[in-house]
Amino acid sequence: MKLAIDEKGIVTFIYDDELSDLCSEGSSEIKRVSNVEPDPMGGWSATMLDGIKLGPYPLRNQALEAEVKYLEAKLF
């Protein structure tokens, strides 16, 4: 898990239940930035809100891993 903390103290991270306690401290905002869904061509795809589509992948877990990798590269 990676965290980014800006000069104002705002923490950005890819949500994971292991970090849920961070959301209970102060105020927090959770934003959906992607969707992992069955692909019409078969398998699973991750669609990012910036329009990028990753996949299809044979397994949902592979699409989830690609999603996290993409977001980490973009955020960190």
Q: For residue 8, is pLDDT > 90?
A: yes
Query: CA 65 → CA 21, 41, 71, distances in Å?
Result: 23, 19, 10
Q: For residue 1, is pLDDT > 80?
A: no
Q: pTM for the whole thing?
A: 0.79
Whether 35 contacts 52, CB under 8 Å: no
Position 56 scores a pLDDT of 97
* Tens digit of each residue's pLDDT (9 = 90 or more) over 22-71: 788 778 888 889 999 999 999 999 999 999 999 999 999 999 999 999 99
